């Protein structure tokens, strides 16, 4: 069977699953997405994709999809600014680091962005089965999934992009359900700014129609991000805080404004952040426990016809700023591998895993070191006075300049030969090197643009 005859079943219509479906469809396969939720309109609040993910979008329909996204995303961003909790500016850097990143860097409302990409996927023939939850995975020469409504979808390959609460990990990989609270949670919200907000002196800056805000405030064990876009009409915020709540069947709950205000008071945050939270519609506030899972030894079923990708394989914390982009890299890589393997699905998935494993793991682990770096800054110490850039969001070139499609094409054949020859070893040795690390050297070579008051 050639690749253009493959039937690809994808469980989960998030950005990783969508990317896999689109890229498989572009390459002549028939992709079907089975998604629990009936619509993407209610998806979350804010999300960002840095250039390694955005460059995938940039190619779709000769740039049309990216242009549609950019109408809704941060497109007037000037600086990414880092503040002490009290509002003292510590460090700033360009929001778009290089000119060629502009059409590769997207941030805004998750649901709005998702809808643009879903519409593109539909336009090229991707099939969607919304509103039906997959409850069973069946491995074998013709893998399949069964939904809560009793429908069975059978394909040549199944891609489990079923998120952090993935049941594929248990049913397909035979792993225990070891999702645990990372020790932190986030409050997150999105709302639209109105004329009344513009009249409020503590909110008026966020309503500026000429500038999109990308800002982060840091205190001990706390940090808050605020983005604005759409000419001062849309605002999203996220507050990360310590939380050891046990995770059961759910870890997303209704948030309470008073609880958020208590954390802001504890961290001695500046007054305007209190105002941002006070004006949040209660129904828009979510209390989300951040899930952590240890790295897993394989992403593949025993037949190597089912693979987990995205959060199901590597559940990045938000502080990596790479969760969405890494899921998209998974999606395009698995499509390239399926095409290059010319119908040999087990070969394709084994190569896919070896291309992606180490890179995703390093970015995944960096989310912890980045978070801890924020939360343990010694504001009165000599190091932060000399090197305020230590608080910045790591965006090393080896991560954000990466071309996942080019990388997959370049390495497919050599890794396929390893698979065919039965080369033995742990996945860390069989897989490509990550390509870099998150050491401090790159940040320390940046010239400080703003230094905190002494």
Per-residue model confidence as pLDDT tens digits over 402-432: 999 999 999 999 999 999 999 999 999 999 9
What is the spatial distance between Cα 199 and Cα 219, in angstroms, rounded to a whole number? 29
> Of 448 and 335, which is predicted with more confidence?
335
What is the spatial distance between Cα 350 and Cα 357, in angstroms, rounded to a whole number? 11
**pLDDT (0 to 100) of residue 320:** 82
In a domain, 454, yes or no: no
Q: For residue 23, name the pLDDT band (cuts at 50, 70, 90).
A: very high
Task: Mark whether 110 and 51 lie in a shared domain.
Answer: yes
The angle subtended at Cα 245 by Cα 376 and Cα 47, nearest 5°, is 65
In a domain, 92, yes or no: no
Whichever domain contains 428, its CATH number is 3.50.50.60
Whichever domain contains 265, its CATH number is 3.30.9.30
From the CB of residue 276, how many other CB atoms can be counted at a distance below 10 Å?
Answer: 22
Collapse the DSSP code of 405 into the 3-class scheme (helix H, G, I; strand E, B; otherwise coil) and give the result: helix
From the CB of residue 421, how many other CB atoms can be counted at a distance below 10 Å?
Answer: 8
- DSSP character at residue 280: S
Question: Which of these, 134, 140, 135, lies nearest to 301 by C-alpha position?
Answer: 140
- DSSP character at residue 319: G
For the record, the structure tokens of 147 come out as 């939904």
pLDDT 10s digits, 144-176: 999 999 999 999 999 999 988 899 999 999 988
Task: Mark whether 30 and 53 lie in a shared domain.
Answer: yes
In a domain, 143, yes or no: yes
In a domain, 84, yes or no: no
Task: Mark whether 193 and 334 lie in a shared domain.
Answer: no
pLDDT 10s digits, 317-344: 887 889 999 999 999 999 999 999 999 9
**pLDDT (0 to 100) of residue 41:** 56
Task: Mark whether 162 and 27 lie in a shared domain.
Answer: yes
Q: Please say which residue of 242, 258, 292 terminates a domain.
A: 292
Specify whether the CB–CB gap between 235 and 222 falls below 8 A. Answer: no
> Of 13 and 317, which is predicted with more confidence?
13
Specify whether the CB–CB gap between 331 and 17 falls below 8 A. Answer: yes
**pLDDT (0 to 100) of residue 429:** 95
On average, the pLDDT of the chain sits at 90
pLDDT 10s digits, 351-394: 999 999 999 999 988 877 777 777 777 767 676 677 776 677 78
Task: Mark whether 111 and 216 lie in a shared domain.
Answer: no
> Of 435 and 366, which is predicted with more confidence?
435
Please identify which residue in the block is written with the tokens 């050891």.
244
What is the spatial distance between Cα 452 and Cα 209, in angstroms, rounded to a whole number? 28
Q: Please say which residue of 271, 292, 313 terminates a domain.
A: 292
Q: Please check the confidence at residue 453 and state whether its pLDDT lies above 80.
A: no
In a domain, 274, yes or no: yes
**pLDDT (0 to 100) of residue 443:** 47
Which bin fits 227, alpha (ψ -120 to 50), beta or left (φ > 0)?
beta
Task: Mark whether 298 and 279 lie in a shared domain.
Answer: no
Helix (H) or strand (E) holding 97: none
In a domain, 132, yes or no: yes
Q: Distance of CA 126 to CAs 28, 117, 134, 226, 436, Å?
A: 11, 11, 18, 35, 35
Q: Please say which residue of 292, 307, 324 terminates a domain.
A: 292
**pLDDT (0 to 100) of residue 391:** 72
Q: What is the DSSP string of 111-148?
A: HHHHHHHHHHHHHTT-EEEET--EEEEE-SSS-EEEET
Task: Mark whether 151 and 56 lie in a shared domain.
Answer: yes
Average pLDDT over residues 293-313: 92
Q: For residue 305, name the pLDDT band (cuts at 50, 70, 90).
A: very high
Specify whether the CB–CB gap between 305 and 345 falls below 8 A. Answer: yes
**pLDDT (0 to 100) of residue 364:** 85
Enclosing domain of residue 228: 180-292
Task: Mark whether 172 and 217 lie in a shared domain.
Answer: no
pLDDT 10s digits, 29-85: 999 999 998 865 555 678 999 999 999 999 999 999 999 999 999 999 999 999 999
Q: What is the DSSP string of 221-233?
A: TEEEEEEEETTTT
pLDDT 10s digits, 267-280: 999 999 999 999 99
> Of 202 and 40, which is predicted with more confidence?
202
Average pLDDT over residues 183-210: 95
Specify whether the CB–CB gap between 157 and 143 falls below 8 A. Answer: yes
Task: Mark whether 331 and 406 lie in a shared domain.
Answer: yes
Q: For residue 178, name the pLDDT band (cuts at 50, 70, 90).
A: low
What is the spatial distance between Cα 344 and Cα 216, in angstroms, rounded to a whole number? 47
Task: Mark whether 49 and 172 lie in a shared domain.
Answer: yes
Number of structural domains found in the chain: 2
Task: Mark whether 264 and 333 lie in a shared domain.
Answer: no
Give pTM, 2 decimals: 0.92
What is the spatial distance between Cα 25 and Cα 2, in angstroms, rounded to a whole number? 14
Q: For residue 442, name the pLDDT band (cuts at 50, 70, 90).
A: very low
In a domain, 94, yes or no: no
From the CB of residue 432, how many other CB atoms can be counted at a distance below 10 Å?
Answer: 17
In a domain, 91, yes or no: no
Task: Mark whether 28 and 129 lie in a shared domain.
Answer: yes
With a CB cutoff of 8 Å and minimum separation 6, the contacts of 305 are 139, 140, 141, 143, 156, 157, 158, 345, 346, 349
């Amino acid at each position: 069977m050639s690749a253009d005859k493959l039937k690809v079943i994808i469980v989960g219509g998030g950005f990783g699953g969508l990317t896999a479906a689109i890229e498989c469809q572009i390459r002549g396969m028939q992709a079907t997405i089975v998604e629990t939720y009936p619509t993407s309109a209610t998806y979350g609040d804010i999300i960002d994709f840095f250039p390694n993910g955005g460059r995938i979008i940039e190619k779709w329909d000769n740039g049309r999809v990216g242009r549609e996204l950019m109408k809704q995303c941060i497109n007037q961003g000037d600086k990414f600014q880092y503040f002490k909790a009290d509002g003292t500016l510590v460090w700033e850097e360009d929001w778009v680091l290089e000119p060629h990143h502009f059409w590769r860097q997207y941030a805004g409302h998750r649901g709005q962005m998702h809808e643009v990409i879903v519409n593109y996927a539909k336009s090229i023939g991707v099939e969607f089965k919304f509103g039906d939850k997959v409850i069973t995975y069946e491995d074998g020469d013709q893998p399949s999934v069964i939904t809560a409504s009793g429908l069975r979808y059978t394909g040549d390959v199944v891609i489990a992009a079923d998120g952090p609460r993935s049941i594929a990990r248990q049913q397909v990989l035979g792993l225990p359900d070891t999702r645990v609270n990372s020790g932190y949670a986030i409050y997150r919200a999105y709302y639209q700014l109105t004329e009344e907000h513009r009249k409020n002196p503590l909110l008026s800056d966020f309503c500026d129609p000429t500038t999109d805000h990308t800002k982060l405030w840091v205190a001990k064990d706390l940090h808050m991000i605020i983005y604005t876009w759409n000419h001062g009409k849309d605002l999203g915020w996220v507050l990360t805080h310590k939380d050891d709540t046990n995770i059961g069947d759910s870890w997303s709950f209704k948030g309470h404004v008073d609880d958020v205000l208590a954390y802001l008071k504890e961290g001695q945050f500046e007054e305007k952040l209190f105002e941002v939270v006070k004006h949040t519609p209660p129904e828009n506030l979510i209390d989300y426990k951040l899930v952590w899972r240890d790295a897993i030894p394989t992403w593949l079923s025993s037949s190597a016809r089912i693979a987990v990708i995205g959060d199901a394989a590597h559940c990045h914390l938000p502080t990596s700023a790479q969760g969405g982009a890494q899921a998209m890299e998974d999606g395009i890589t698995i499509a390239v591998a399926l095409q290059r393997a010319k119908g040999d699905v087990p070969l394709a998935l084994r190569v896919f895993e070896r291309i992606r494993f180490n890179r995703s793991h390093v970015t995944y682990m960096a989310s912890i070191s980045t978070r801890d770096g924020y939360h343990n800054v010694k504001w009165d110490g000599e190091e932060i006075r000399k090197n305020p850039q230590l608080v910045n969001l790591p965006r090393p070139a080896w991560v954000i300049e990466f071309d996942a499609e080019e990388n997959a094409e370049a390495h497919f054949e050599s890794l396929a030969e390893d698979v065919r020859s039965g080369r033995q070893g742990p996945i860390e040795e069989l897989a490509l090197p990550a390509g870099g690390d998150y050491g401090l050297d790159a940040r320390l070579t940046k010239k400080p643009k703003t230094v905190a008051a002494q």
